[in-house]
Amino acid sequence: MRTKEIAETVGVHVNTVRLYEELGYIAPVPRLANGYRHYHDLHMQQMRIARLAFEHEFIQHNLRKMATDIVKKSGAQQFHEALIAARDYETFLRQELTFAKQAIKVATALLTEPLENETTYTHKQVATRLQLTENVLRNWERNGLYEVSRNAQNRRQYHEKDVQKLLIIRVLRSAHYSIASILQLFMALHTVASEIDMQTLLNDVPFTTEFYNVTDGLGRNLQHAIDNVMHIQHILTQLQ
């Protein structure tokens, strides 16, 4: 199979096929006596794995890195290892989808009923609950996305409304909203320099419309990515 043929079959430019070989996304391609590349079915399957993995350009939570790891292992013909990585990737994607659904549930609940939970959480507990690093939370705080109270020992003390706001921020970040964009959104909704009230925020019509559109789009993309990685697992199982 020539470069043009494999490119047309997979639906990419011929230069993409050559680039994938250079990057190690497909196995080294043998050359004919005339110097032309000669691709086999193995290369076709590796190209399909790469295209499925990179169809959605996620930039948050190392999703791109995880997808690339699968593709590189496939290109090195480490199919068993690639399959394990693909299963881990699927698990992570499903976790992200769960957080997106939780954010919609939180928003809906806050629009219809007041928050009565007075439980407090530590910085570490919140990071674990939201599957974020503590440094990410500190970065969001430093950039003014949220404020949190301190106890007598000067340790951060999160309330349920703080956690819910962080869940909203998490979903917006996963949907590729920049920190600056989220901050501008919050500032536009609240002109007073006080702590943002989640009930007021989520009752704002422009915000709710945008937020539900964001979460709906993110949910669809995540589900599509899950479908793709399951297809990848099927290909890898056959290649083992």
Amino acid identity, residue 231? H
Domains 3-93+227-239 and 96-220 equal at CATH topology level? yes
Of 1.10.1610.10, 1.10.1530.10, 1.10.1660.10, 3.30.1490.150, the CATH number of 3-93+227-239 is: 1.10.1660.10
Q: What is the pLDDT along the chain (240 residues), one digit of tens a residue?
A: 899 999 999 999 999 999 999 999 999 999 999 888 999 999 999 999 999 999 876 545 578 889 999 999 999 999 999 999 999 999 999 988 888 888 887 777 766 666 666 788 999 999 999 989 999 999 999 999 998 999 889 999 999 888 888 988 888 888 778 888 888 777 766 654 444 566 666 666 667 777 777 788 888 888 999 999 999 999 999 998
Amino acid identity, residue 6? I
pTM, two decimals, is 0.77
Write the DSSP string, 112-154: HS------EE-HHHHHHHTT--HHHHHHHHHTTS---EE-TTS
Domain parsing of the chain, residue ranges: 3-93+227-239, 96-220
Number of residues in the chain: 240
Q: Identify which of 42, 106, 96 has the alpha carbon closest to the alpha carbon of residue 235.
A: 42
Topology at the third CATH level for domain 96-220: Multidrug-efflux Transporter Regulator; Chain: A; Domain 2 (1.10.1660)
Q: Identify which of 117, 202, 219 has the alpha carbon closest to the alpha carbon of residue 165.
A: 202
